[in-house]
Amino acid sequence: MTIKMVAVRTFRGANGFYQRNEIFEVGTQLGQIYESKGLARQIKPQRPQYTKPIQPQTTKTEIPFEPEKIEHSGGGWFVITQTGEKIRGKENAIQRVKELEG
């Protein structure tokens, strides 16, 4: 089994020279020797941090389309059948119908 280590200072190891702050992998026994002599220290494996799942953000609220009260006249314009009023945007037209009813 191998472990990751970082060299504390430059030294000549079993597999050649290791520069200061160099990250390398060695066997567990050799790693323990390097650590006991103060030549290198073991890099502890970090556990991945738990992150909450990303919830899809809805920017618009879904408004049910009421075809008997609103007619699409094209180009983003809607006609309210009760009054014949032309309003730009589906949400605005539905909101206007609710204002007229309530």
d(CA 42, CA 28): 10
pLDDT in tens, the chain (102 residues): 889 999 999 999 988 999 999 999 999 999 999 999 999 999 987 777 777 777 776 665 555 555 678 888 889 899 988 888 999 998 888 888 888 887
Of 2.60.40, 3.30.160, 1.10.1060, 3.40.5, the CATH number of 2-42 is 3.40.5
d(CA 43, CA 34): 13
